[in-house]
Amino acid sequence: MEIRNLTTFLKVTELKSFSKAAEALDYSQSAVTVQIQQLERELGVQLFDRIGKNVLITQYGRDFVAYARDVISAVARAGAFATASGDLTGTVRVGTLDSLMTASFSDIIPAFHEHFPHVIANIHGDSVAGLKDLLIKNELDLIYTLDEQQLDPQFIKVYEAPEDIVIVTNVENPLAQKSRVKLADLVGHPFVLMNRNNAYRDQFDRELARQGLSIDPFCELESDVLALRLIWENPEYLSVLPRYTVQKSIHEQHLAIIPVKDCEMHQYRQLLYHKNKVITPQIQGMLDTILDAAKKPF
């Protein structure tokens, strides 16, 4: 069983087209057809239905995807067995939220560079929905995100940890001195919130709706860094952010978490990659580096 045939099979599966796979692999379409036929003869099953111009993967093909991916990953690891990680090259594409980028990647990037000095770490910030979409399109190798628990079977979850979502203000705000506050007490205060495609903003809106409350922020933005700076410079402002964002902020000594007893919110840091992704030594190195950082307290 030839590795190139397995690679071609996975590419056809990904692109759902012999011609597109041929173009991506720089093969002729006839070469792709021959390689798939060779693989089908070896396995004794048909991997694709060819009906007219449509190419649809069969159940045999779907079942074989995991085996093909495992073989190619094993070959990649074996090929790198005698090579020090410092000799590896290439690029690893990582997607994350701005909040996690600020809180974690100042530790992750130096640690990864120390072990893989010639591998480029391409870090992309986006919304949770955007990151998942890019992962599905194979435009990212892995994502490190904060969201509701991810149960989609097309993703492999390497790590998961709960995180508190808190309401934060300046230490000079009178609300910071109270031992107990209700969510209703905050209605009417000036809020700086993330945009509505943000996972923890959406959770906050759901909690407000559950209690029959409404808060209209005077500012909506993408950057948690800007939100923290605004709170630092304007003691009357409030925002909703992950606890780790506050703990890692350069303004931490000026910030306070308001003890809102009837509004406990939690989400999950999660490290994911697509189930059909071939995990190269470079990608595995980044997974291991992020995992090491994720297990350490903020």
Q: Of 40-44, 80-84, 211-215, 216-220, which gets the smallest average pLDDT? A: 80-84
Q: What is the pLDDT of residues 140-190, one digit of tens each?
A: 999 999 999 988 999 999 999 999 999 999 999 999 999 889 999 999 999
User: Do 138 and 212 belong to one domain?
Assistant: no
Alpha-helical runs (H) found in 44-116: 59-79, 98-115
> What is the domain count for the chain?
3
User: Do 121 and 260 belong to one domain?
Assistant: no
DSSP state of 181: B
- 193, 219 in Cβ contact below 8 A? yes
User: Do 285 and 147 belong to one domain?
Assistant: yes
DSSP state of 150: P
CATH (domain of 57): 1.10.10.10
Whether the pTM exceeds 0.85: the reply is: no
Find the domain containing 56 and state its range.
3-79
Q: What is the mean pLDDT of residues 8-27?
A: 91
Q: What is the pLDDT of residues 239-283, one digit of tens each?
A: 999 999 998 888 889 999 999 999 999 999 999 999 988 888 899
User: Do 55 and 130 belong to one domain?
Assistant: no
Q: Which residue has the tokens 């939220």?
A: 97
> Among the three residues 11, 44, 79, which one is the final residue of a domain in this structure?
79
> Among the three residues 41, 64, 79, which one is the final residue of a domain in this structure?
79
User: Do 89 and 136 belong to one domain?
Assistant: yes
Q: What is the pLDDT of residues 96-119, one digit of tens each?
A: 998 899 889 999 999 999 999 999
Instruction: Name the E strands within 136-237.
Output: 142-147, 155-170, 191-194, 219-221
Rounded Cα distance between 63 and 67, Å, is 8
Rounded Cα distance between 291 and 77, Å, is 19
pLDDT band, residue 121 (cuts 50/70/90): very high
User: Do 191 and 215 belong to one domain?
Assistant: yes
User: Do 19 and 47 belong to one domain?
Assistant: yes
CATH (domain of 136): 3.40.190.10
User: Do 152 and 285 belong to one domain?
Assistant: yes
User: Do 40 and 130 belong to one domain?
Assistant: no
Spatial CA neighbour of 248 closest among 269, 217, 273: 269
